[in-house]
Structure 1
Amino acid sequence: MKSLFRPALLCLATLLILGGCSSPQVSMYAKEKPTLDLTSYFNGTIDAYGIFTNRSNEVVKRFKVVMKASWVVKDGKRVGTLDEDFFYSDGTTQKRIWTLTETAPGVFTGTADDVVGSATGLMAGNALNWKYTLALPVDGTVYNVQFDDWMYLMDDKVMINRAQMSKFGIYLGEVTLAFYKR
């Protein structure tokens, strides 16, 4: 039994390492158009429609988001507020208020009450990649779930968002959103 365990463990470790190496980098999208200007797109009112799919690709939740977004300059840095109201298909609602700060050209940090620590965002071309941990309540228990969140600007009104969720490196599901700027 011991002789079978070590090769299996080594194979699993190799797969996890190789899987981590295959992630796209935001720099791959540097030449893509239209160029995303986060402070321009997330300014005003934006509607979003989304679904959450589990790891079997079953849609388990549908929702709408109404976002009111604005930016100011504080201490020489652009700081944005994204005030999001979620309306779920089961009748429940949720509010999340993000505070985004541009720390360098194309580099952002973000905080919200249910984000553990802060989110880091990198932007290039038409793409933005956020990485963060969200405290996600499920059936009375809160789980810290990692998000790998990709946004792609399609035109001046539409952005597509895909976010993969994982816990301990295990894929849990995906959130897909379509944003429409009014």
Structure 2
Amino acid sequence: MTSMPSTHRFTTLRRAGIGLALVGTLALLSACASPSVEDYAQERPALDLRQYFNGPLTAHGMFTDRQGKVVKRFTVQMTGKWTGNEGVLEEHFVYSDGTTQERTWHIQYLGEGRYSGQAGDVVGPATGQAAGNALHWNYVLALPVNGRVWNVRMDDWMYLMDGRIMLNRTAMSKFGIHLGDLTISFTKGSE
């Protein structure tokens, strides 16, 4: 067995180091390129959950897997009620396969566009920050999948389009692996 000359080993190690540095730099740049809720601070109309999630709402949505295939569609009838900075949002889901689900959110406005929330199938607190027409909401959902429960990280972005319509896009992940997306259109008022 012949050994590599020391200059060749140095060049190989140097190239590997440059490659790792490049990969690290690209990862850092992509992390820095993520949107910030402050990017939307000047967008109008301004989103205030206390106003938008107050009264009846209807939502239509779908789950897509990581390949983009629609896995399930749903409709949600909601009613929100606020007393000062404390809100309750009741959600009644009907899925395309005929199953139903109920969820009740307890939301608190913390000031300066910050929100906190809890629900029965949410692990720990949900946290949110609003600026302009956008809200960035993060939480872990205990999601039933094939007879088991997975704790799935929900990276939720909501955008108020006008006084009645809000769009929502959520990236779902577990252990940092992207599982799929949730897309919802909210309409203020009942249908």
TM-score by length of 2: 0.85
Q: Are residues 1:61 and 2:72 paired?
A: yes
Match of 2:61 in 1: 50
Query: Residues of 1 paired with 2:139 and 2:25: CA distance?
Result: 25
1:97-141, Cα deviation, whole Å (9 max, x unpaired): 000001122000010011110010000000011011111110011
Match of 1:22 in 2: 33
Match of 1:94 in 2: 101
Q: When you count strand as a share of all residues, which structure comes out higher? A: 1
Counterparts in 2 of 1:129 and 1:91: CA distance versus 1, 3 Å = same
Of residues 172, 185, 189, the one that matches 1:178 is 185
SS at match of 1:23: coil
SS at match of 2:63: strand
What letter is aligned with 1:136?
A: L
What letter is aligned with 2:172?
A: M
Counterparts in 2 of 1:41 and 1:21: CA distance versus 1, 3 Å = same
Provide the aligned length of Structure 1 versus Structure 2: 174
Match of 2:45 in 1: 34
**Post-superposition offset of 1:170:** 1.2
Query: Residues of 2 paired with 1:27 and 1:143: CA distance?
Result: 31
Query: Residues of 2 paired with 1:159 and 1:12: CA distance?
Result: 37
SS at match of 1:56: coil
**Post-superposition offset of 1:169:** 1.2
Of residues 143, 159, 162, the one that matches 2:150 is 143
Unpaired runs of 5+ in structure 1? none
Counterparts in 2 of 1:49 and 1:17: CA distance versus 1, 3 Å = same
What letter is aligned with 2:55?
A: G
Cα RMSD over matched residues?
A: 2.0
Match of 2:110 in 1: 103
Match of 1:118 in 2: 125
Identical-pair percentage: 54
Greater shift, 17-26 or 39-48, is seen at 17-26
**Post-superposition offset of 1:20:** 3.1
Query: Residues of 2 paired with 1:97 and 1:121: CA distance?
Result: 17
